[in-house]
Structure 1
């Protein structure tokens, strides 16, 4: 009924099956007055009348699934704890209605909303000189050269023209003089109030400035003497207001992610499950379907590009416990501060693809992200991974202008190939190379985005080969886990060789794990590929004291084995790290491989390109190479004579 997931995982299919069977949250869950209603065939035109008849404000047809409608209340969202109310019971009995599912309310939080004090291009804009993440000359105690290298892309003529980025957040001040010219009203919508005007709701503390600040990072107009400059300052920005309500629902998330996918190119999300170090949560059934539809059908079949902030839980959390950031369908972005160090709030995980920038040293008040603020104001105090995701969306907009034919997977490959270590450094996790020589870091992914490098490679980029997925093997037996001992399991696989879904060159790898423990937060999980690349799938989370739920078919994901040959033996190591003795049981480990059968690029070209990008004096090196070749030829000729 909801369609198929072309790139779906076993987890996603299981969730959809559960939905079809009518399963839902427990009786203790918080339910809203929002309903998912499926009508019988031929009665779509009655949806609005039906909604009003049963006490709702109206009905909105959902762009995914068949004959699905969102029945929403007349007034501000309210909640209830009983699963059935009188109007829903009456609605279920109506002959026009096939199915009714109440929408559970759950928590979603804005990321990186904090005070900075607590944590060769000429532009006329007053804050441009303070936007160190665009061009870092060492201002605000930063490290010169540590930036997004947007100047190179701008000089090549790419500024994001023709690309629309949607900011899924608490609204956008679209009247702001630094945003108004680039605001895309057609692509904007308010899913909190169900109208086309996503203006932020006023609060005394300006709490709802989050989306406006993110929008300015992407699309603030250049050379207008107002605030600063967006990364893609000629791009269009759309506002999708969906965060400002007591509880999130699956319908609102799915509707936001699937809003106008033929107009919107990039969706930027600086929010997710609570970053408290003890929450394990991700997208529900409808949102999974909407994301699958987005990558399969969005942008005329090239796929919607979803950019996600990796999380602000710091060393207490692990972004592989966030099902949005760790999804294969999103590009998860972490942040670095202006001297290349990790921010205290950065979460690390093996699903992070790359990094951009947040704030800087605590002692410097001008080291935050300079951007637009509510009511026509400007700010220097935006920060967190909230600031990092929109910067990445801006860089991707530059690449899309350079090559509008890029698919969602092309963008991920470009991210892996052109991101670079630069001067990023983490005291805990060292930089390493995987089996094909790609350099990565457990916290920073493949490095900081390089706009100039990405645009150069994007211009002549050829679409990557078709993607396949292979269930490489599964361990279903019960295995005990004890403190002081490490459980080691192996799966040997041919990666479905000889079958239609053979995977030879890896993109994403998922370890779908079912495990429980006397203290979930003390669990650690590592996985090593046949080519010797070790991925930390789960780090210790000291605030997570769960002893009941554990992880149920949770898809831990790694991008660290990108490009590797998956054939051979994979090793999973599960143990406990903590002061008190713990015990647990692993019930399942299923290995899922995702990638291509033919090489998306030649290995040597990859290495050559990365080495060239790292060289600051490229022309000199080329001259030296020519001279060396000439000397060698002369030497050979003299010896032959």
Structure 2
């Protein structure tokens, strides 16, 4: 049994009925760990929204391109067509920085390879492993098939150069049949790389209506459905007697989330310019509550379950005191005018969170406005369970120095 402080909440690893489910409806992780806890010579490519490679519970299990780390900055030292791809690449933005700005890829990484037995955070299936990132999805979780193909080819290229890429994780899907995508997956099969694919989240029978990429007839694809804590098929999961290979825990899964976005992981209460512990109420913050219409999206739905527990550093926390979940088409938010024009760069914001957002469906978004609330810019989005006070930091761009901070608990 690992000593990670959140391990007892990982029902998918070891289900004791702690979430009201069925005992032993899990993957029998402790039994597997009696035999092996991982292998740091094995590398998994994560094709997703990127990875927060500054995350303390992931850092030691991240793949690093040593040829580039030991090479010359600005030079393609390993000759793979990408300059300074230290942790992987970002095909969405066309650069070498796969830093996650959504949290989905970071969440996936925590389940695959959150450092085990380090007395911190969650435990990955593999306590020791190397995870390489290829980001093809943006902050809203959207991307193009061409970006996914480039990611697959990137890992195929690393394998050809001697990196021990044994599998790619592909928790994404959508779109029609693409011969180019299938060709890339088949090439990874030839290279000896497994392609682990999400069966899909549309309650679809993939035998009758193929869902890609899980439904490509490629020899290296393992299509995975989702189960809940009673060992039942998740109510959103796709299925298929011949087209889906296996099922695994996929409902209310606790894992790592973004802790930083362009800023060091500092403690918000030690902010150099301004911080508020809410010990004496909301102070100068305005609690906007229900706004009626979302200033950012057109008619989405929202849900956030507030936890009114004690603030991380004081006797209170900012809350709208809802008794239940957010209703559809509502936005709960707080705002405060901050004039930061005299502050030297870099400028970072941060907050402590505690609560639950339904994984991949509901998100905490943080927006900034530089024009009094007429328009908003997203800095970070996170999803999943914050079972204990979790630190999140984000960068404030230079042109947002005279800023009004807007915090939205919302579903995209």
Aligned to 1:199: 99
Question: Aligned pair in 2 of structure 1 residues 149, 293: CA closer, same or farther (>3 Å)?
Answer: same
Confirm or deny that 1:341 pairs with 2:341: no
1:346 shift after superposition: 1.3
Alignment of 1:211-610 (within 5 A): 211-244=105-138, 248-261=143-156, 262=159, 263=163, 264-273=165-174, 281-282=176-177, 284-296=178-190, 298=191, 303-314=192-203, 320-329=209-218, 330-349=221-240, 350-359=242-251, 368-375=252-259, 383=359
Question: Aligned pair in 2 of structure 1 residues 148, 244: CA closer, same or farther (>3 Å)?
Answer: same
Unaligned runs of 5+ in 2: 66-86, 261-352, 362-412
Question: Aligned pair in 2 of structure 1 residues 225, 273: CA closer, same or farther (>3 Å)?
Answer: same
Contact 2:207 2:243 in 1 (8 A): no
In structure 2, what is the Cα distance between the partners aligned to 1:172 and 1:288? Answer: 25
SS at match of 2:254: strand
Contact 1:189 1:195 in 2 (8 A): yes
1:383 shift after superposition: 4.3
Contact 1:219 1:234 in 2 (8 A): yes
1:316 shift after superposition: 8.3
Q: Which has the higher contact order (CA 8 A, sep 6+)?
A: 2
Deviations 1:549-568 (A, max 9, x none): xxxxxxxxxxxxxxxxxxxx
Question: Aligned pair in 2 of structure 1 residues 219, 381: CA closer, same or farther (>3 Å)?
Answer: farther
Question: Aligned pair in 2 of structure 1 residues 185, 356: CA closer, same or farther (>3 Å)?
Answer: same
Contact 1:169 1:269 in 2 (8 A): yes
Runs of 4+ in 1 over 6 A off after TM superposition: 316-319, 377-380
Aligned to 2:382: none
Contact 1:371 1:382 in 2 (8 A): no
Question: What root-mean-square deviation, in Å, do the aligned CA atoms of Structure 1 and Structure 2 show?
Answer: 2.6
Q: TM-score normalised to the size of structure 2?
A: 0.53
Contact 1:216 1:230 in 2 (8 A): yes
Unaligned runs of 5+ in 1: 1-120, 202-207, 275-280, 360-367, 386-641
In structure 1, what is the Cα distance between the partners aligned to 2:257 and 2:355? Answer: 6
Deviations 1:433-462 (A, max 9, x none): xxxxxxxxxxxxxxxxxxxxxxxxxxxxxx
Aligned to 1:509: none
In structure 2, what is the Cα distance between the partners aligned to 1:378 and 1:268? Answer: 28
1:200 shift after superposition: 2.2
Deviations 1:484-530 (A, max 9, x none): xxxxxxxxxxxxxxxxxxxxxxxxxxxxxxxxxxxxxxxxxxxxxxx
Aligned to 2:296: none
Question: Aligned pair in 2 of structure 1 residues 210, 309: CA closer, same or farther (>3 Å)?
Answer: same
Confirm or deny that 1:130 pairs with 2:6: no
SS at match of 1:255: helix
1:161 shift after superposition: 3.0
1:226 shift after superposition: 2.1
Confirm or deny that 1:143 pairs with 2:22: yes
Question: Aligned pair in 2 of structure 1 residues 228, 381: CA closer, same or farther (>3 Å)?
Answer: farther
1:183 shift after superposition: 0.9
Question: Aligned pair in 2 of structure 1 residues 161, 344: CA closer, same or farther (>3 Å)?
Answer: same
